[in-house]
């Protein structure tokens, strides 16, 4: 059985990436791999680990030098699910190794997000987004909410499809499967143009009950206002529209990382800030293959 480990030093930085079998290990980020300085063999797994931890002086340099087994072998990644490629990266500094293949998808998503952000900015020039005004509703606000939620659903469907899920008529009960692997509930967005607003966390609490649609008030409001405007027109508030636009920011970043999703140096990245984002454990990072085979996608097992 082959397993890959990342080895960290005292400050949490990567020392090396290792491949382990039952009776040997070697660094895959150092040449030569087998037969080199960092290649060890033993009669059993227990003896191998004992040798590394007790008998090898180099291994014992620095009291915190530790091994963390990677969830994915080096060179593997989940499509459209961004993760850091170095331990300790957080607050949006995750990436997707498949971003080059998905460049058209990214460009379209960024273009649609720019339209949503511009529409929201124009609405907020008429209705100041503060206090009681957040409960204001109207046709333009309803239209923005519906369009923003439609785009969120496009993101949800895209990620599930990219990971091998066959979708017929999916509901939020199926989309909620994305919350845990993408850590959606851990993101919050601040809007620089409206610094008085508290950070917006549209996915907070998602997946904590058996009724995921009701855990997203902005999504429920969009459904009510879309399907029964006469009786639920007032559900489509400015607050819900703000949350839905921020949900799009989070979905884009959670797929491709902050700079790639919003555009380095763009107005989007200047206006939409992530005060809260997942802190990924060392075992969750994506690690390069360190050989010519390069990156390879593997479906997330929901």
Domain of 187, in residue numbers? 103-282
Is residue 51 domain-resident? yes
Length of the chain: 302
59-68 in b/e form (b: 16+ CB < 10 A) is beeeeebebb
Q: Write down the pLDDT at residue 199.
A: 98
Give yes or no: residues 16 and 110 share one domain. no
HSE-CB of 104 using CA atoms within 13 angstroms: 2
Q: Is residue 27 part of a domain?
A: yes
- Shared domain for 69 and 119, answered yes or no, is no
The span from the CA of 263 to the CA of 133, in Å, is 31
Region 20-24 average pLDDT: 92
Lowest average pLDDT, out of 146-150, 248-252, 272-276, 278-282, goes to: 278-282
pTM for this prediction: 0.94
The answer for residues whose C-beta is within 8 angstroms of residue 238's C-beta and 6 or more apart is 123, 124, 127, 129, 133, 134, 135, 136, 137, 141
Check if the beta carbon of residue 113 is closer than 8 Å to that of residue 253. Answer: no
Is residue 98 a part of any domain in this protein?
A: no
**Tally of structural domains, the chain:** 2
Do 46 and 115 sit in the same domain of this protein? no
- Determine, yes or no, domain membership for 38: yes
Please report whether residue 94 resides in a domain.
no
Average pLDDT (16-41) is 91
Q: In this structure, is residue 93 part of a structural domain?
A: no
Does residue 58 carry a pLDDT above 80?
Answer: no
What tens digit of pLDDT does each residue of 72-119 get? 999 999 999 999 998 866 554 789 999 999 999 999 999 999 999 999
Residues 180 and 220 in one domain: yes
pLDDT value at residue 62: 60
| pLDDT, tens digit (0-9, with 9 covering 90-100), for 255-297 | 999 999 999 889 999 999 999 999 898 899 999 999 888 999 9
In this structure, the answer to whether residues 71 and 150 fall within a common structural domain is no
Checking if the pLDDT of 48 tops 90, the result is no
pLDDT at 265: 85
81 and 58 assigned to the same domain: yes
Same domain for 118 and 64: no
Spatial CA neighbour of 250 closest among 272, 223, 280: 272
Same domain, 188 and 233: yes
Q: Which whole number is the average pLDDT over 212-238? A: 96
Predicted confidence at residue 55, as pLDDT, reads 57
């Amino acid at each position: 059985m082959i397993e890959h480990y990342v080895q960290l030093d005292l400050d949490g930085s990567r020392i090396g990436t290792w491949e382990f079998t039952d009776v040997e290990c070697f660094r895959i980020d150092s040449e030569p791999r087998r037969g080199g300085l960092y290649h060890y063999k033993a009669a059993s797994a227990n003896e191998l680990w004992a040798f590394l931890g007790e008998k090898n002086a180099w291994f014992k340099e620095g009291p915190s030098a530790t091994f963390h087994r990677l969830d994915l072998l080096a060179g593997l990644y989940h499509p459209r699910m961004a993760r850091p490629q170095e331990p300790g990266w957080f607050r949006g500094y995750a990436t997707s190794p498949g971003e080059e293949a998905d460049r058209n998808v990214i460009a379209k998503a960024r273009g649609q997000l720019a339209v949503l952000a511009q529409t929201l900015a124009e609405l907020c020039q008429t209705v100041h987004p503060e206090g009681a005004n957040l409960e204001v509703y109207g046709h333009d606000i309803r239209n923005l909410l519906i369009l923003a939620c439609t785009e969120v659903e496009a993101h949800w469907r895209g990620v599930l499809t990219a990971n091998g899920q066959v979708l017929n008529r999916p509901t939020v009960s199926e989309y909620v499967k994305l919350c845990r692997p993408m850590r959606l509930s851990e993101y919050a967005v601040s809007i620089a143009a409206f610094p008085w607003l508290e950070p917006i966390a549209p996915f907070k609490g998602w997946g904590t009950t058996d009724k995921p649609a009701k855990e997203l008030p902005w999504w429920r409001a969009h459904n009510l206002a879309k399907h029964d405007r006469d009786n639920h027109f007032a559900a489509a508030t400015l607050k819900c529209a703000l949350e839905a636009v921020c949900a799009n920011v989070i979905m884009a970043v959670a797929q491709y990382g902050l700079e790639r999703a919003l555009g380095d140096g763009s107005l989007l990245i200047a206006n939409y800030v992530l005060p809260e984002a997942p802190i990924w454990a060392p075992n969750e990072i994506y690690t390069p293959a360190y050989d010519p085979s390069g990156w390879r996608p593997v479906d997330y097992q929901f």
